[in-house]
């Protein structure tokens, strides 16, 4: 079956703007998690959605938010972008009894 | 914080076995050991996981010590395409209800050389 897909793959924004990233999980997977990867902090957990409800949240400011739709697709939003938000944003999906599988990521550059 | 400790880097000759160690001395009884790898700027790729028994799949073998305080990932015949950052992660459960939260450490950068 098809893997996790993320769109767009690359994005350039300027400080102060907002951005929305999209993730389509593997068919049948109800859990979607988001991660941020930067050279300085490595891979950090942002949040997880399960059946349209946020189930877990990492230690990120409120500018980072997400949601999940009834078809399990998920979006994350970052408002008032800062230079430090430049990162690879990764989405991962899992079924109830399966391990997590990651998408290719969205590379966000904030100028 | 990550509950695992890994060497920052290792080299391996192409065609030889790559043995990547991981210490997880504070692992709890219901925590599994997972391994992922990340090839430059791609999404992490699942490799293998285990609880207390040794595991093998088409990609690798996982050896967990009897006291479960450490483990070793073995790539039996490393190729240049195995050059990547390898992450060892411990997480609670592997079944219904377990969450998607993974805590990544810095991992081991494996360089496979010709």
Q: Are A104 and A7 in contact (CB under 8 A)?
A: no
Q: How many helices (H) and strands (E) does chain B have?
A: 0, 9
Average pLDDT, whole number, for chain A?
A: 94
Question: In Å, how far from its chain's centre is CA B82?
Answer: 13
pLDDT along chain B (114 residues), means of 10: 90 97 91 93 93 93 96 97 96 66 92 97
Tell me the DSSP string of A51-105. Answer: TTEEEEE-S--TTEEEEE-TTS-EEEEE-S--GGG-EEEEEEEE-TTS--EE---
- In chain A, the N- to C-terminal Cα span, in Å, equals 37
pLDDT at A99: 84
Q: Give the integer Cα–Cα distance in Å for B40 and A107.
A: 13
Chain B residues closer than 8 Å to A33 by CB: 100-102
Predicted confidence (pLDDT) at residue A68 exceeds the cutoff of 60: yes
Chain B residues closer than 8 Å to A58 by CB: 101
Which whole number is the average pLDDT over A89-102?
88
Chain B residues closer than 8 Å to A45 by CB: 101-103
- Tally A–B CB contacts below 8 A: 67
pLDDT at A78: 98
pLDDT at A83: 97
Q: What percent of chain A has pLDDT over 90?
A: 90
């Amino acid at each position: 079956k098809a893997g996790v897909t993320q769109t767009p793959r690359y994005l350039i924004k300027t400080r102060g703007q907002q951005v929305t990233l999209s993730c389509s999980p593997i068919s049948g997977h109800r859990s979607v998690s988001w991660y941020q990867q930067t050279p300085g902090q490595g891979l950090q957990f942002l949040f997880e959605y399960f059946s349209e409800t946020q189930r877990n949240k990492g230690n990120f400011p409120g500018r980072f938010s997400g949601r999940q739709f009834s078809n399990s697709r998920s979006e994350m939003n970052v408002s008032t972008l800062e230079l430090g938000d430049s990162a690879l944003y990764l989405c991962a999906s899992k079924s109830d009894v399966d391990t997590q599988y990651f998408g290719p990521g969205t590379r966000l550059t904030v100028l | 914080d990550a509950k695992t400790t890994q060497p920052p880097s290792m080299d391996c000759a192409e065609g030889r076995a790559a043995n990547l160690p991981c210490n997880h001395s504070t692992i709890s009884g219901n925590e599994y050991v997972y391994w992922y790898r990340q090839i430059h700027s791609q999404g992490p790729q699942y490799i293998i996981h285990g609880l207390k028994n040794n595991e093998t799949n088409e990609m690798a073998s996982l050896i967990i010590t009897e006291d479960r305080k450490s483990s070793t990932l073995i790539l039996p015949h490393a190729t240049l395409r195995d050059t990547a950052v390898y992450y060892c992660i411990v997480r609670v459960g592997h079944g219904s209800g377990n969450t998607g939260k993974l805590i990544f450490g810095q991992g081991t950068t494996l360089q496979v050389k010709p």
